[in-house]
Amino acid sequence: MDKVEIIAEAGVNHNGSLDLALQLVDAAVEAKVDIVKFQIAVPKLVVTHSAKKADYQLNNTDVNESQLEMIEQLILKDQDFDKISDYCKKRKIGFLLSAFDIISFNKLSRWKQKYCKIASGEITNFPFLREVAKAKKQIILSTGMSNIFEVENAVHELLRYGADRKNLTILHCNTEYPTPFSDVNLSAMQAIKMKLGIRVGYSDHTLGSEVPIAAVALGAKLIEKHLTLDRSLNGPDHKASMEPEEFKIMVSSIRNIEKSIGNGIKKPSKSEIKNINIARKSIVALNSIKKGEIYNDKNICPKRPGNGISPIHWDKVIGGKAKKDYKEDELIEW
């Protein structure tokens, strides 16, 4: 099976500091993720001056600043992303930027990236979707706050403007930070896959690692999770993010689950073949049996080991004649 890709969403958890951003790259490398992702935007093209903050943003940032003011403090410069991209190459980890406006998206060719990532808030932004589709790249589409019809419409728009279905990955997502477990609805990820026949994954905002691990068990091919250096830092996303050591454990757990899924063929595994003769049973003499004696349930029974006649053949053995004398516990022969 294809390896599950894991994205550490550094997002804006660098708090506008290049030094913190590079430390987040280090943390992602240490956790053995595949890609570390940041966000790029022209704030005035993303929100109006009067746009309100979400509740989780109000709880974790200055209540007196607007959403625009908050975002302006959290955006890195293009030159910073040049340095982060170069550092990712040096540390041998994938680098990804998600854009929130067309001007920022058109800059992405400056940094070679495997994917174009579309955030949940852009799923109804058709002008933006069309620009992404025209780039003819692999696309990750997050689907927080949307219903299945909006997901279908977004996919249709992407395909209409040049995207290739086989290059799409749809992430089930909930945009509440943190997401209550009762609102996760992982079954919706499977429903998206069945409905659209497109590779699916999961973008997680719950606390802890149980849900992304479960998502992999349910078929997610890509996992995205917020990474922070310290949840106590000021900023909108830190409280719902995972610290480095936790992230490392989550990645290891996902890799174990990934191995455990297997190929779906039910057969003895390499590790357990040696146990077959030890744990299964054979038909043996329950007590001494004389040659010519008729086998019955009083003189034979199944016992370990399993290297004789299997009790699956019990009905064929019962009623037959012993071809020789048997001692107690001796394997019966055909």
Same domain, 28 and 46: yes
Same domain, 310 and 254: no
Q: In this structure, what CATH number is given to the domain that contains residue 246?
A: 3.20.20.70
Q: Helices 244-261 and 18-30: crossing angle, nearest 10°?
A: 40
| Residue whose C-alpha is closest to residue 268's, from 254, 279, 257 | 279
DSSP annotation of 291 reads: T
Same domain, 297 and 245: no
Same domain, 224 and 156: yes
DSSP annotation of 269 reads: -
Phi, psi (5° rounding) for residue 11?
55, -120
Q: Which of 239, 261, 283 is a domain's end point?
A: 261
Same domain, 88 and 229: yes
pLDDT of residue 59: 84
Same domain, 242 and 281: no
Listing DSSP states for 93-152 in one string gives: -EEEEEESSHHHHHHGGGS--SEEEE-GGGTT-HHHHHHHHHTT-EEEEE-TT--HHHHH
Same domain, 256 and 323: no
Same domain, 196 and 284: no
Same domain, 99 and 213: yes
Q: In this structure, what CATH number is given to the domain that contains residue 328?
A: 3.90.1210.10
> The domain containing residue 313 runs over which residues?
267-334
Q: Using an 8 Å Cβ cutoff, are 141 and 171 in contact?
A: yes
Residues 6 or more apart in contact with residue 116 via CB below 8 angstroms: 105, 108, 132, 135, 137, 138, 139, 140
Q: Which of 261, 285, 307 is a domain's end point?
A: 261
Q: Helices 18-30 and 78-91: crossing angle, nearest 10°?
A: 20
* Mean pLDDT per 10-residue interval, the chain, length 334 residues: 92 96 98 98 95 86 88 94 98 98 97 96 98 97 98 98 97 96 98 97 97 98 98 93 98 96 94 97 97 97 98 98 97 96
pLDDT of residue 290: 97
Phi, psi (5° rounding) for residue 54?
-70, 160
Number of structural domains in the chain: 2
- Alpha-carbon separation of residue 164 from 110, 113, 142, 155, 239 (angstroms): 22, 17, 17, 10, 36
Same domain, 257 and 288: no
pLDDT of residue 54: 86
Q: Which of 230, 261, 292 is a domain's end point?
A: 261
pLDDT of residue 1: 59
Same domain, 69 and 193: yes
pLDDT of residue 330: 98
Q: Using an 8 Å Cβ cutoff, are 167 and 138 in contact?
A: yes
Same domain, 51 and 92: yes
Indicate yes or no: pTM above 0.75: yes
